[in-house]
Amino acid sequence: MVNSLGHMSAIQVDKLIRDFGDFRAVNEISFEVHESEIFGFLGPNGAGKTTTINILCTLLRPTGGSAQVNGYDVSSRQSEVRSSIGIIFQDPSLDEELTAYENLRFHAMMYDISREDFKRRSEELMEMVDLTDKLRDQVRTYSGGMKRRLEIARGLLHRPRVLFLDEPTLGLDPQTRRHIWQYLRRLREQRQVTMFMTTHYMDEAENCNRIAIIDHGQIVAVDTPANLKERVGGDLITLRTSDNENASQRLKEVHGVEARTGPEGQLIVETERGDQFIPKIIETFSDGANPIEVQSVSLRQPTLEDVFIKLTGHAIREQEADSKEQMRRRGRMFGRLRR
Amino acid sequence: MIHHLKTFYTIWSRDIIRFSRNRGRIVASMATPLLFLFVFGAGLGPAMSPLAGGNLRFEQFMFPGIIAMTVLFTAVFAAVSIVWDREFGFLKEVMVAPVSRRVVALGKVAGGSTLAMFQGLLILILAPLLGIKLTFEQVVYLLLLMLLLAAVMSALGILVAARQRSMEGFQVIMNFLMLPMLFLSGAFFPLTGVPVWMEALARVNPVSYGVDPLRQVALRESVPEIFLEAMRLNPIAVDVAVMLVFGVAFLVPAIWLFSKQD
């Protein structure tokens, strides 16, 4: 499928809707993912990210709208969609009692990969994720990062054109997360696989070519990380003062800027050339009969977090555990007890 | 077609490999049946009126019932594990693979049934300890009957688990399905001479039709035929036919529900 800009599109979503009973998890979203780009879905838990992935990989049926993956409709051409995609789920989907080899072998059987292809590709992929010497080990002996790498290798065994990654580094330590990203970037350079990923880690979203910001089932913005950050505009000054209310009023009166209050009660001001603006603020505050005391001030470049707050009006919050999260926790406990 | 066979083999052999790697669990899962057999056997036996004209000890009577119980539990647990496996396990990967979900469901039934039959066999090996004589032919018959019962129960397990999304309903399944089916199957006491309501329930209980032929075959060499016939529910052929009907009645909707996209 070729769009107006001449890009090939790997994923095309048009007014997609998904309801669970009365709850609309995905609310008329439309977007397009170009071939061989890394496209990120950024949003809090419960925003509709996993639901969207599940529709795109044919696990869920859309309530309304349409979606095509590699040119195949997800409702009418499920088998073709499934053959042409690879998925790394948020929750582990390896059989831990089996060895890595057996997990890969079973995958190859289900994707109807010939014995020769399987042998060649599995060696190649296990080398790519540095697990060659662990091939015959049971997966239960693997660390969290190793399991993820094995899942990536397995997901690529049938040469998918699009790889879906649902929170690929969730629950991994920062070092392992960086490591996983090295593999993913290498993968994109070497094989031009399109990647569609969801995350609620801001720093991780920076790795994407383009990001869709999603909240309450709707896409708020789609752009490159750099362009999104430009929307915040210039620099961010964070202030702590003795009297925030008075301070923001004076900022408005004297400088014509709107300050907003951050989650910890600090004042946040968006401005061009923040380094030059700080002295002016302090001057303004110390003027007059009723000076405002500045307790701390800091200056920084906007992050995607700021973009998110600006566009949605709230921070990416940790949501209360839903029933699935509870099941997941219980599972971890069960897993520990079993060992 | 070859792709279907590969899928079936994948699902089935995964269950077998997992089972064979977990020897501890095999031994542990024999604890309950053995406890029932020896504690109930020794404790209740003396209180029972003589069975089969004094030709049959209570443990011997219970033995085929214990085999059925082992088969029932193993098969249902194996099937119900799909709830967990689909959210947090290998089955999730299977659900997005380009394979027929019907074949996956059949593979799951086959895997669970094989395991259940094997667990049943492990109990069957104890027969000589209880003074139950078994010929090779009997063992073959018993294995086939176990496999059939296991398949019926696996299909029921898949049917119950197919639309379930959390393990919360599990206790309910256990208390309101498996235990009543087990207790009302004639596994632990003869169904001849029980109250009418109980006999009625036993007659609609698929497990009864598994226990009955197992008992008739297992005790064939140990109890005179007249007594065996007096104790039975149906001729073996009828039991087998009813089990087949139950099996199809569970399997068809189970496969349909399992294959349905959410």
Domain boundaries, chain B: 2-259
**Residues of chain A with pLDDT > 70: what percent?**
91
Most confident of A76-85, A268-277, B40-49: A76-85
Select from B6, B93, B262 the Cβ nearest to the Cβ of A93: B93
Distance between CA A70 and CA A143 in Å, rounded?
33
Q: Which neighbouring-strand residues pair with A268?
A: A238, A260
**If we measure between CA atoms, which residue out of B183, B207, B170, B223 comes closest to residue B53?**
B223
Q: Are B61 and B51 in contact (CB under 8 A)?
A: yes
β-pairing, A85-88 vs A162-166, is parallel
Structure tokens at B251: 């399997």
| Cα-based distances in Å from B75 to A30, A56, A101, B85, B154 | 45, 34, 28, 16, 5
Distance between CA B120 and CA B115 in Å, rounded?
9
Distance between CA B196 and CA B204 in Å, rounded?
13
- Residue B159's pLDDT is 93
Distance between CA A110 and CA B23 in Å, rounded?
28
Question: Average of pLDDT values for A134-143?
Answer: 94
- Residue A336's pLDDT is 41
- Residue A151's pLDDT is 93
pLDDT digits (tens, 9 = 90+) for B212-248: 999 999 999 888 888 888 888 999 999 999 999 999 9
Q: pTM for the complete prediction?
A: 0.85
State whether A92 and B94 contact (CB < 8 Å): no
Note the helical H segments in B162-262.
170-173, 179-183, 196-203, 208-218, 225-231, 236-259
State whether A93 and B14 contact (CB < 8 Å): no
Give per-10-residue mean pLDDT for chain B (262 aa): 93 94 85 88 82 84 95 92 87 94 96 95 92 94 97 94 78 82 92 90 95 95 87 94 97 95 83
pLDDT digits (tens, 9 = 90+) for A200-232: 888 888 889 999 999 999 999 999 998 998 888
β-pairing, A38-42 vs A64-69, is unpaired
β-pairing, A162-166 vs A194-199, is parallel
Helix axes A144-156, A174-191, angle to 10 degrees: 20
- Residue A337's pLDDT is 39
**If we measure between CA atoms, which residue out of A38, A39, A20, A18 comes closest to residue A29?**
A18
Distance between CA A131 and CA A133 in Å, rounded?
6
What is the number of H-type helices and E-type strands within chain B?
Answer: 14, 0
Identify the residue among B5, B96, B259 best suited for mutation to test binding to A, counting A beta carbons within 10 A and taking the highest: B96
Q: Are B150 and B112 in contact (CB under 8 A)?
A: yes
State whether A82 and B88 contact (CB < 8 Å): no
- Residue A112's pLDDT is 94
- Residue A318's pLDDT is 52
Minimal CA separation from B118 to chain A, in Å: 19
Beta-strand ranges (E) seen in A74-161 are: 85-88
- Residue A251's pLDDT is 86
Chain B CA closest to residue A97: B18
Distance between CA A5 and CA A321 in Å, rounded?
42
Select from B14, B167, B262 the Cβ nearest to the Cβ of A95: B14
pLDDT digits (tens, 9 = 90+) for A299-327: 888 888 888 888 888 777 654 455 566 66
- Residue B43's pLDDT is 87
pLDDT digits (tens, 9 = 90+) for A245-255: 888 888 888 88
- Residue A330's pLDDT is 59
Residues in chain B closer than 8 A to A138 (CB atoms)? 21
Helix axes B58-88, A323-338, angle to 10 degrees: 120
- Residue A324's pLDDT is 62
